Amino acid sequence: MKQSQLFTKTRREAPADEVSKNAILLTRAGFINKELAGVYSLLPLGLRVVDKIKKIVSEEMEALGSVEFLMSTLQNKEIWEKTGRWSDEKVDVWFKSTLKSGSEVGFGWSHEEPITNLMTSHIASYHDLPVYVHQFQNKLRNEVRAKAGILRGREFLMKDMYSFARNEEEHMAFYNKATEAYLNVFRKVGLGDITYVTSASGGFFTDKFSHEFQTLCEAGEDTIYITDENGKVAVNGEVEKKGDPKKAVEVGNIFTFGTEKCEQMGLYFNDEKGNKTPVYLGSYGIGITRLMGVLAEVFGDDKGLVWPEAVAPFKVHLLSLSENSKKLADEAYEKLQAAGVEVLYDDRDARAGEKFADADLIGIPTRVVVGEKALASGMLEVKSRASGETRELPLKELINELA
């Protein structure tokens, strides 16, 4: 894409109303726009990162045998009343409104109840189980205080998966596979080294059956204590404190609901012997937009964002530095595009210093400069945003390396 087509402008200054690193960098670089406290729109660069994360998550969920669907935002009061979770005392993040008819309607903050209700039309026998489904759904939560930029907002994109199993054994087999798939996701987006599996903090879940995925990050709300560095296992500080406390952000969680919710919602199946049996429910969440925020927090430096290869909005940021070298830069753009390399091409009529600063701020992994030097030698300056390492390469070799 040509940068002249990308309408977003970068900003030199941090927005006055932001304090968190992720919101400051993502706003300055033109990835997100604040609509109100805790609510952000995704600008083209931000949407591209989110789409890359979604793709990685999709692949892992589909490999588990899960099928994608998409539930509604508007929520039926009657369904949530069956489990008592319509109550604002039980669930304190509901947004609610009123239909023209006068009846109340909710806005989805999670979807265990409607998906369990939906399954009562599709699951009747042990032949119909297990079922695994997932969605990328825009959650709305009336948080008391929205803070930490896109790490905890009132509106965010979540991947939520639900498993319906015949019994605990079948559930746990999937639960363990899902744990591995989650670790794959965090590894693929570049957070593998600093993401730990922790036991969740109680409630009515047992430690064995409920886990969080925590990524080390200064901006985190949680404190974890690492118990096995190689196994990537830690303990949430709410459960137990031992060793050095480390700040972390919860990037995913997996829950065992057991059979209680299905009993409340009337989701039963006939087992092999014809016995009416409640279905065994699990739920599995990853905060997709939060993950973008964590990547900004963890990798961002004093010059701006630094995207891992797999989730970067583009692979190459191509900078044309002078009017003379524009033809060569155009050629490089076309050849890289033709080779299937995703390129953001800074074709703007702007000073070199401005282009360098913008490239550092936006944080695309590989910066390629075409200026007078390239015109003279035929060698392009290729710089890694992450390491700062600079090399000179002819265009052909660059394409071979990237394509």
Positions that interact with a copy of itself (CB under 8 A): 1, 5-9, 30, 33, 35-36, 39-44, 46-47, 50, 65, 67-76, 79, 95-97, 99-100, 105, 107, 114, 118-119, 121-123, 128, 131, 133, 138, 140, 142-145, 154-155
Question: What is the closest distance, in whole angstroms, from the C-beta atom of residue 70 to a copy of itself in the complex?
Answer: 4
Question: What is the closest distance, in whole angstroms, from the C-beta atom of residue 373 to a copy of itself in the complex?
Answer: 28
Question: What is the closest distance, in whole angstroms, from the C-beta atom of residue 145 to a copy of itself in the complex?
Answer: 8
Question: What is the closest distance, in whole angstroms, from the C-beta atom of residue 138 to a copy of itself in the complex?
Answer: 6
User: Which residues contact residue 60 at a Cβ distance below 8 angstroms, ignoring those fewer than 6 apart?
Assistant: 181, 182, 184, 185, 188
C-beta separation of 189 from 311 below 8 A: yes
Query: Taking the mean position of all CA atoms in its chain, how far away is CA 81?
Result: 30
157 vs 197, beta carbon nearer a copy of itself? 157
DSSP state of 202: -
User: Which residues contact residue 175 at a Cβ distance below 8 angstroms, ignoring those fewer than 6 apart?
Assistant: 163, 209, 254, 256, 282
Query: Taking the mean position of all CA atoms in its chain, how far away is CA 65?
Result: 20
User: Which residues contact residue 51 at a Cβ distance below 8 angstroms, ignoring those fewer than 6 apart?
Assistant: none
Question: What is the closest distance, in whole angstroms, from the C-beta atom of residue 107 to a copy of itself in the complex?
Answer: 7
Question: What is the closest distance, in whole angstroms, from the C-beta atom of residue 33 to a copy of itself in the complex?
Answer: 5
Q: Which residue has the tokens 């927005």?
A: 15
Q: What residues does 286 pair with on adjacent strands?
A: 159, 252
Question: What is the closest distance, in whole angstroms, from the C-beta atom of residue 41 to a copy of itself in the complex?
Answer: 4
237 vs 285, beta carbon nearer a copy of itself? 285
99 vs 376, beta carbon nearer a copy of itself? 99
114 vs 192, beta carbon nearer a copy of itself? 114
The sign of the dihedral angle between the CA atoms of 47, 48, 49, 54 is positive
131 vs 239, beta carbon nearer a copy of itself? 131
C-beta separation of 197 from 232 below 8 A: yes
109 vs 213, beta carbon nearer a copy of itself? 109
C-beta separation of 136 from 280 below 8 A: no
C-beta separation of 27 from 15 below 8 A: yes
144 vs 376, beta carbon nearer a copy of itself? 144
